[in-house]
Amino acid sequence: MPRFLGNILENLFGKPATVRYPFERPEHVPGTRGEISFDMSKCDQCQDCERLCPSGAIEVDVEGKRIEWDPYRCIYCHLCVRSCMHQAITALDNVQPPVYRLEKKVFET
C-alpha cells in the first residue's frame, strides 16, 4: 500500500504524460525526416535521385526540366537528400498534414 500511495500522489499532482493534441502541439524535434523539396535552379537533371530512390517516388523529366515527387510512395529515407551532388534537395522537418486527394508534387524551373 505505501508503494501505491507514492504512485497515486505522483499521478494526482504530476504533469500528464500525454499531450492534449488539438489544443497543444507536441514538441517539434529538429531533424525529423519530413517532406523533401527540390531547388530547380541547382538541379542539373542527372537523375541520380530517380535511380537511387528505393520506392520509385521520384520521376525526372529531363527535357521538360520538371520533377514529380509522390509523397505517398516516398518512404522518407532521405537517401536522395544525402546523395544529391548539387545539394538541390532540401529536407523539411515537418509531418505532412492529412489531405483529401493523393496528388504528386511537381517542381518546375
d(CA 96, CA 67): 19
Least distance CB 47 / other proteins (angstroms): 14
Residue 57 CB-density burial (10 A; 0-12 exposed, 13-18 middle, 19+ buried): buried
DSSP 3-state assignment of 83? helix
Among positions 31-60, residues that touch other proteins (CB under 8 A) are 31-34, 52, 54-55
Locate 40 and state its grid cell: 530547380
Binds other proteins by CB under 8 A, chosen from 75, 86, 94, 109: 75
Least distance CB 108 / other proteins (angstroms): 27
Residue 76 interacts with other proteins (CB under 8 A): yes or no: yes
d(CA 72, CA 83): 21
Looking at the Cβ atoms of 44 and 93, the one nearer to other proteins is 93
Least distance CB 4 / other proteins (angstroms): 11
